[in-house]
Amino acid sequence: MCVTLIGGMDRLKKDYIAAAKDRGHDLRWISRNERNFVDKIGNPDALIVFTNKVSHEAKRKAVQVARTRNIPLRMIHSCGVSSLRECLE
């Protein structure tokens, strides 16, 4: 299963990827609203947004992409690795 994570802390990138891999998921991580943001989301099986570490604009775009492409969306306020683990279960 491919999951796209939006938001989070740059220093935890390796931990996010390792936590997803431990649960059998491939993780694509986007730290912030970047150029070609919508294209970078791709077409994952699920979309997770850490709302406390991402701009309102990036959150709005993520919600719009999830709705138009019919992708399950999970929005979480905290950005810790344990929050990601709980979400992936």
Exposure string of 15-30, with b = 16+ CB inside 10 Å and e = fewer, is: bbbebbeeeebebbbb
CA distance 59 to 20: 21
The residues that bridge with 48 in the sheet, in sequence order, are 5, 74
Q: Which CATH number fits domain 2-88: 1.10.3210.10, 3.40.50.10700, 3.10.580.10, 3.30.365.10?
A: 3.40.50.10700
**pLDDT given at position 72:** 94
pTM over 0.85: yes
Q: What is the DSSP letter of 59?
A: H
Mean predicted confidence (pLDDT) in 12-24: 92
What's the pLDDT band for 11 if we cut at 50, 70, 90?
A: very high
**Residue of higher predicted confidence among 89 and 25:** 25
Q: For the segment 35-88, what is each residue's pLDDT rounded down to a tens digit?
A: 888 888 888 999 999 988 888 988 999 999 999 999 999 999 988 899 899 988
**pLDDT given at position 33:** 77
